[in-house]
Amino acid sequence: MAQPEQTTAEINSAIHEKSQLPYGDINSQSTGIEALPSIDDEGESRMNKEKWLALFALGAAYMTAVQQGACIGMIVKSIDIALGPTTYYNWLLSASHITSTISLPLAGGLSDIFGRRWFMISGGLIHTTSAIVALAAQDIPTMIASALIAGLGSGALMLSLAAVAELVPNNKRGVVQACLDLVGLPWIVFGALTGGAMVVYHGKYGFRINFIIGIILNVLSTVTLYFFYHPPSTGKRLEGRTKWQALKALDWTGLLLLNVGVVLFLVSLSLGGATFPWRHAGVIAPLTISIVFFIAFAIWEAKLAKDPFFEHSLFKGQGRKFSLFLVISFFLGGVSAAVGFWAQAVRGLWNGDPIKVGILCIPGGMGAAIGGFAAGILIGKSKLFSTKNCLIYATGIKIISDFMISRLEPYGTYSEPWGLGFGFMSMLGSGFASVSLLVSVQLSCMDKDLGLATLLLSTAASIGSATLITVYSTIINHDLKKYAGLKVFKAVAPLGYYEPKKIKPLIYMLINENIQGAAALPGITPQILKAARDALKYVWAGAFRKVYMTAGACVATAFIVALVSKDVSHMMTNHVSVRLQNERHADEKEQT
């Protein structure tokens, strides 16, 4: 007579082969065996007051994380002017990027074991602390410290992406992610404009408004999470152990190897080309050591760890699903990094002030919001919009758009209207790809690994972004150094301004947008100033042409990977991963 465990496994295997039902947790071993959904899925799929309130709290947490990232890029230089000036203010962005990349997989994996609620509440408190530190800061080092803290908090807040998915049926995950995109809409669309308005209309210290808003949103999200979000107190990866047993069994060696590798890799990219030349030991040494740590981490997780942090079930037999989705996320993260250079392109090509830059960023933000919402609504609704097809559509749109943007010029056919139009289309593709990829990853993993899988996707995008930002910055700096002097000299020499010692400070001031300082230089006339600015615009245009050609090549790689990836639309069923604790209490009251 067969043992009960064997019978269950055989039934699950047979059912999966015929009907491919969703993952469950009857068998929690990392064998890749899929189990039946719970028998009360139909009842758990209904929406109720407890779920709506929890989704509101999770939406507030997501909006909080988005707000700070959307505005900070526009005010970094203003912060340096007010509290500096320094030569290292870009670490305001690098610092938060490094710590958020560390905290993303940690928050995802640990919350799968110990439960999500207190990780998210702690993330809100940490994020609040960072905003308070920034609000009180009197120098750039303190601001960088606040950015380090903010990155840790934002990684935990991004758990909202996994938390909303597990509260609704698999076939509604796209819709709920679309709604989450709408929550971030004001900042995605108007973040750059809001940041610009802070510094234009509110003086030298107007940047502090960003952190006042951050404190308000953090308090709102933390309070609502505390009162409205009540998931199970433990995660599904706890698997019958006590929390203390799970903590002792945690893969501390793997976590150390991973985090040291990530930190050294991102620090080396931040130092290269800025603090040190790329061939300097200060760049090569941490980069080489980081690669060694990554290799050691891979060997440890695959062969040596007794209880690996990265569940083998995520990768075994998932070569064309989860693993390829991470590859796509890496390249799309790098492509999305090019978006951050759009504001710089606007300033360089069309001499935009902060308000104009913000206005010209609105079409791109609208494209991202519309694309994300459309993907969430359409994905899985028919074979035409299978998960695989959605990824192909999104990357296809981006290939065309990014190569079209590469034709940008200061004047003529390929100037502002061209850039705004294809910028909208490019970001529409980005939004569509982001939500499609998120839903695909969440459908390709077991319920117990949902947090880790979701935030690993964000980690891959973050590392891709950091890598390509370095490439883009190197391209721009190379072109400015190589061509700016020659182009400007050719433009102003016929006007009588041909002494090299005078041209160098002129170029420096124009690159740094100090137009008044440039106009005040000895011998500068309005005609000479205009000729120099126009020449520099074409240098910027050449640099951004290479940036967006590189972005197009990256998204073309993502497109090829999407073509060979596996469709997971069959997993879009009525299965619900998690039931809130207060839902159960509400049901018990109704029954009594």
Of 466, 188, 154, 424, residue with least CA distance to 337 = 466
Of 426, 439, 424, residue with least CA distance to 391 = 439
Give the pLDDT of residue 591: 58
Give the pLDDT of residue 44: 58
Q: Do residues 213 and 296 both lie within one domain? A: no
Over residues 523-578, the pLDDT tens digits come to: 999 999 999 999 999 999 999 999 999 999 999 999 999 999 999 999 999 999 99
Q: Do residues 119 and 140 both lie within one domain? A: yes
Helix, strand, coil share (%) of the chain residues, nearest 5: 75, 0, 20
Q: Quick check: is 99 in a domain? A: yes
Q: Quick check: is 514 in a domain? A: no
* Alpha-carbon separation of residue 128 from 100, 153, 198 (angstroms): 15, 8, 20
Asked if 434 and 452 count as a contact pair (C-beta separation under 8 A), the reply is no
Q: Do residues 190 and 330 both lie within one domain? A: yes
Q: Do residues 17 and 62 both lie within one domain? A: no
The domain boundary, picked from 262, 285, 308, lies at 308
The domain boundary, picked from 286, 308, 330, lies at 308
Q: Do residues 161 and 223 both lie within one domain? A: yes
Q: Do residues 244 and 259 both lie within one domain? A: no
Lowest mean pLDDT among 244-248, 295-299, 397-401, 440-444: 244-248
Of 192, 544, 189, residue with least CA distance to 367 = 189
Q: Do residues 367 and 403 both lie within one domain? A: yes
Q: Quick check: is 523 in a domain? A: no
Which residues lie below 8 Å from residue 152, measured CB to CB, with a gap of 6+? 99, 100, 102, 103, 123, 126
Across residues 72-86, what is the average pLDDT? 83
pLDDT band of residue 261 (cuts 50, 70, 90) is very high
pLDDT band of residue 367 (cuts 50, 70, 90) is very high
Across residues 334-358, what is the average pLDDT? 78
Q: Do residues 219 and 296 both lie within one domain? A: no
Q: Quick check: is 277 in a domain? A: yes
pLDDT band of residue 454 (cuts 50, 70, 90) is very high
Q: Quick check: is 257 in a domain? A: yes
Q: Quick check: is 495 in a domain? A: no
> CA angle, corner 105, sides to 102 and 107, nearest 5?
95
More confident residue, 340 or 328: 328
pLDDT at 28 over 80: no
Residues forming a β-bridge with 169:
576
Q: Which amino acid is at 129?
A: T
pLDDT band of residue 352 (cuts 50, 70, 90) is low
pLDDT at 15 over 80: no
Give the pLDDT of residue 311: 84
Asked if 127 and 236 count as a contact pair (C-beta separation under 8 A), the reply is no
Q: Do residues 445 and 565 both lie within one domain? A: yes
Give the pLDDT of residue 296: 96
Tokens representing 453?
């899988």
Over residues 203-258, the pLDDT tens digits come to: 778 889 999 999 999 999 999 999 999 999 888 888 888 989 988 888 999 999 99
Q: Do residues 31 and 106 both lie within one domain? A: no
Q: Which residue has the tokens 């050449």?
A: 542
Q: In this structure, what CATH number is given to the domain that contains residue 103?
A: 1.20.1250.20
The total domain count for the chain is 3
The domain boundary, picked from 282, 308, 334, lies at 308
Give the pLDDT of residue 410: 93
Distance CA(257)–CA(101), nearest Å, equals 14
Distance CA(230)–CA(584), nearest Å, equals 11
How far is residue 146 CA from its own chain's centroid?
A: 19
Q: Do residues 244 and 258 both lie within one domain? A: no
Distance CA(430)–CA(393), nearest Å, equals 11
Q: Quick check: is 294 in a domain? A: yes
Across residues 32-51, what is the average pLDDT? 57
Range of the domain at 25: 9-36
pTM for the whole structure: 0.85
Q: Do residues 293 and 151 both lie within one domain? A: no
Of all residues in the chain, the percent with pLDDT exceeding 90 is 56
pLDDT at 337 over 80: no
pLDDT band of residue 36 (cuts 50, 70, 90) is very low
Distance CA(347)–CA(349), nearest Å, equals 6
Average pLDDT of the residues of the chain:
86
3-state SS assignment for residue 326: helix
Give the pLDDT of residue 254: 93
More confident residue, 429 or 238: 429
Q: Quick check: is 211 in a domain? A: yes
Give the pLDDT of residue 177: 92
Of 327, 448, 338, 321, residue with least CA distance to 403 = 338
